[in-house]
Each structure stands twice: as C-alpha cells, then as structure tokens.
Amino acid sequence: MPIHTPSSKGELRQSKVSKKMFSNLARSPIYIVLDDLKSAFNVGSIFRLADALLVSKLYLCGRTLSPPNHKIKTTSRGTERWVPWEHRSSTIDTIKELKKAGVYILCAELSADSIDYKKITPSFPACLVLGREYDGISSEVLDLADCIVSLPIFGMTNSLNVATTASVLLYELHQVINKQ
C-alpha cells in the first residue's frame, strides 16, 4: 500500500491525524526485535524511527532497557507512547513465535553469509533483528534468520552504530513495500 509522503514540513504538520485517529492508522508490516541492546540512547533512537515508519511492533528482548527510562526518552522524543512495544525475556522464543506466524526474519549483521542490503528479497510481514553493541547478534539467533543482511563498510571500522543501521535498513524495507 503506497503511503503519501508529505513534501514539506508545513504539509507534514497539516497531514497529522488527531491522537484519537492515530490508533486507527494502518501500520507497516514490519516488526523490530532488539537483541540485548545496552544503550538506552540507541533504544530511544529506534523508538523514534519505529514511530516515523509506523512499524507494527517493537520487541525489546533480554537485557534491552525498556521505558520508562529518562535516557530512552531523550532520543525517543516520547514516541514510546505511540509505538506498540513489549519487553520479552527471550529473543529466541520471540523470533520463533514470529516465524510461526509467517513473519520473514532478517538479521542485520556483517557475517560470511550476509547479503548486501540492496540485494535482499524479503517477504512481508518482515522482522528486522538488531544486535547488541560490541557483541552483535548471538549465533543461536542468527541460525533462525531467513536472511542475514549487511551494510557495506569501506573504512577502517568493523561496524556501524546499531540505530544508524536500523535507519538505513528500515527505510530500505519501507521502499521495498512501496514498490510492491
């Protein structure tokens, strides 16, 4: 379903629905799983992104910090009020449950089996799994992926910030949905 993209800040403000109507908006067939994220600031940034793209649900798994948390609020800009979210103790059980419901699992990680983000062919609904700062996604979780997706790194660093990764990949998925 193509979504109209407002062309200016003014048009964007005009297009906002009331708080009451907001809960009736069709959400994007995208889920996000955060696997043990350490930084509250990253969690908040991903909340803000999930709101911008009307993601269906954000799962905060394992040790990932959850609202209410003042550091999350700093970067989320309060979007935890608008994004459906849930804390789950097990990332593996959450992914197994989503798979059983027919959700395509995309794990974001640089690995020998990774596919470049421009070459992925996901089906929807899809779930983007993002890993812990420093450690990345556990091998048990990677084993459940339908696809491991990566963003190319040309410089000296080994990885990108997890919220930056989420931004690029979620807008890419949004574009794939709009082209369908």
Ligand X SMILES: C[S@@+](CC[C@H](N)C(=O)[O-])C[C@H]1O[C@@H](n2cnc3c(N)ncnc32)[C@H](O)[C@@H]1O
Determine if 136 is a binding residue for ligand X (CB under 6 A): yes
Number of H helices, E strands in the chain: 7, 7
By CB under 6 A, name the one of 105, 162, 173, 177 that touches ligand X: 162
Residue 1: CA atoms inside 13 Å, Cβ hemisphere, count? 8
Tokens in use for 53? 């793209």
CA–CA gap between residue 133 and residue 33 (Å, rounded): 14
Determine if 158 is a binding residue for ligand X (CB under 6 A): yes
Mask of contacts with ligand X, 94-133, x by CB under 6 A? --------------xxx-------------------xx-x
**Which is nearer to ligand X, 133 or 146 (by Cβ)?**
133
3-state secondary structure of 124: coil
The site for ligand X (CB under 6 A) is made up of 108-110, 130-131, 133-134, 136-137, 150-151, 153, 158-160, 162, 165
